[in-house]
Amino acid sequence: MEGGTLRLDQCGLCLEYKELRNSHLMPKALYKKLKGAFDGDDLVLNQSHDKSSIYSDFQVTSHFLCSECELRFSRLGENAVVSECHAGTDKFPLLERLKNAKQFASIRGDNWFNPIQNYFPNIDNYLYFAASIIWRASAWPMAKNSNQKSLGSRYQEEFRRYLLGEQAFPSNAYLAVYVDTDEDIIPKVSFPTSSKKLGYHHHIFYIPGVKFSLVVGENVGGIRHLSSAEATKLFFISYSFKKHPDYQFIVRELLHEYKPKGRLAREKNV
């Protein structure tokens, strides 16, 4: 039974049969923020499945969540987090918060902050937001542009139950939120990617000015001990994206592996 943007089927989160919304993999508000806050309205879409780059405001959607679960994601995560990410010159509330906070460590030039000791607001919102994005990519019904089954069956179910409020944040999961301090921040939104390490999986995604880094597994290394010592599952880190190895990796990949298409290709040849 279908009609417009609704479809009767099983909700991916609550598992009840309801009318499903045409859900976004990445929150729609992020794209609005990109288009409205930076010079030029041209968004470049880089797609890993065919290694292409093209001007597009294409957003990944699928009938996946019911209205109640969509509202739950907005209320418990998206509304607070999206409002604090980078929104153009002099509009970066999260960075301003870190500038007035006390760091507990400096590791390879990155400053680490304990949000509990600094009485940060919205701590639970950041945990919930990161979990909702990474779970969504893992449980997404379509493989293209998602990160299907990246959490594995055990952790995908644990995160689903956490997002529903049926259990605490998974015990083997730890989140680091990197906040870009560069003068000219590169606005970007990325779909979650994951890599398998020895004893854990590492999940990453970006929103404007912010990188979310989630490690999940039985043997996550030093972050477990740091979490125990600081009594927090969440760390905020101020860093320079352009000085980070991630930046050089992304630049090399886009230059040498991705092929521009359409107007973007024509502009490169001018």
What are the beta bridge partners of residue 93?
Answer: none
The amino acid occupying position 86 is H
Q: Classify 216 as helix, strand or coil.
A: strand
Decide if 191 is inside a domain: yes
At residue 88, the pLDDT reads 78
Residue 104 pLDDT level (bands cut at 50, 70, 90): very high
**Bridge partners, 250 (sequence order):** none
For residue 215, pLDDT beyond 60: yes
Element (H, E) at 212: strand 210-216
148-205: per-residue pLDDT in tens? 999 999 999 999 999 999 999 999 999 999 999 999 888 888 889 999 999 999 999 9
Question: Is residue 111 in a domain?
Answer: yes
pLDDT in tens, 113-160: 999 999 999 999 999 999 999 999 999 998 777 789 999 999 999 999
Residue with tokens 């999961």: 173
Helix (H/G/I), strand (E/B), else coil: 102: coil
Q: Tell whether 140 is covered by a domain.
A: yes
Q: Above 60 in pLDDT, residue 41?
A: no
Q: Is 221 helix (H, G, I), strand (E, B) or coil?
A: coil
Query: What total number of domains does the chain contain?
Result: 1
In this structure, is residue 222 part of a structural domain? yes
Beta strands in 80-192 (DSSP E): 103-107, 110-113, 173-180
Q: Shortest CA distance to 190 belongs to which of 246, 257, 124?
A: 246
pLDDT interval class at 2 (50, 70, 90): very low
| Residue-averaged pLDDT of the chain | 89
Q: d(Cα 25, Cα 137) in Å, to the nearest integer? A: 7
Which residues 6+ apart lie within 8 Å of 3 measured at CB? none
Residues in the chain: 270
The structure's pTM equals 0.90
166 in a structural domain? yes
Q: Tell whether the model's pLDDT for residue 3 goes beyond 50.
A: no
Residues 144 and 156: their CA atoms lie apart, in Å, by 19
What integer pLDDT is reported at residue 55 of this predicted model?
57
Closest by Cα among 36, 39, 58 to 49: 58
Please give the order of strands across the beta sheet that includes 44-47: 44-47, 52-55, 259-260
Predicted pLDDT at 47: 61
Residue 96 lies in a domain: yes
The amino acid at residue 204 is I
Nearest-angstrom CA–CA distance, 8 and 20: 6
**What's the pLDDT band for 259 if we cut at 50, 70, 90?**
confident
What confidence score (pLDDT) does residue 257 get?
72
The verdict on residue 129 lying in a domain is yes
Instruction: Please provide residue 191's backbone torsions phi and psi, each rounded to the nearest 5 degrees.
Output: -70, 150
The band of 48, judged by pLDDT with boundaries at 50, 70 and 90, is low
Whole-angstrom distance, CA of residue 18 vs CA of residue 69: 11
How far, in Å, are 71, 206, 210, 263 from residue 177 at the CA level? 24, 10, 7, 35
Report the distance separating Cα 26 and Cα 248, nearest Å: 24
Q: Is there a domain that residue 125 lies in? A: yes
Domain housing 176: 29-56+82-268
